[in-house]
């Protein structure tokens, strides 16, 4: 098994015209990047519907001020996203004192 892996690195190194150790670190970094992106995908977007938090948060000040009406999509997101719900409460309490 180890023998085959070494062969793979050497083959890839040959194709990329890199040293074997450079290829290993390149593959390691590519793997790390992929792992981070997967983590972000799994933990960052698991609660999201079709709208993401950034889009929702742009709407929150207007919603809290009553300058725009909420859509079912936004309501659904806020109901399932504690972070956005907390932001909306923050804006609403700010408006109440204004
Ligand atoms: Zn959110």
CA distance 94 to 88: 10
CA of 56 to the centre of ligand 1 (A): 7
CA of 76 to the centre of ligand 1 (A): 10
Question: Across all residues in the chain, what is the average pLDDT?
Answer: 81
CA of 69 to the centre of ligand 1 (A): 17
**What's the confidence (pLDDT) of residue 43?**
65
User: In a 3-state reduction of DSSP, which class is residue 71?
Assistant: coil
CA of 50 to the centre of ligand 1 (A): 11
pLDDT band at 29 (very low <50, low <70, confident <90, very high): confident
Highest mean pLDDT among 5-9, 53-57, 65-69: 53-57
* Lowest mean pLDDT across 13-17, 22-26, 72-76: 22-26
CA distance 34 to 45: 16
pLDDT at 48 over 50: no
Q: Write the CB contacts of 39 (distance below 8 Å, at least 6 apart in sequence).
A: none
């Amino acid at each position: 098994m180890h023998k085959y892996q070494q062969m793979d690195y050497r083959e890839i190194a040959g194709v990329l015209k890199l040293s074997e150790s450079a290829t290993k670190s390149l593959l390691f970094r590519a793997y790390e990047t992929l792992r981070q992106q997967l983590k972000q995908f799994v933990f960052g977007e698991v609660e999201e519907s079709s709208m993401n938090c950034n889009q929702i948060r742009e709407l929150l000040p207007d919603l809290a001020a009553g300058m725009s009406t909420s859509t079912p999509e936004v309501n659904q997101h806020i109901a399932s996203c504690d972070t956005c719900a907390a932001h909306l409460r923050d804006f609403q309490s700010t408006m109440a004192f204004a």
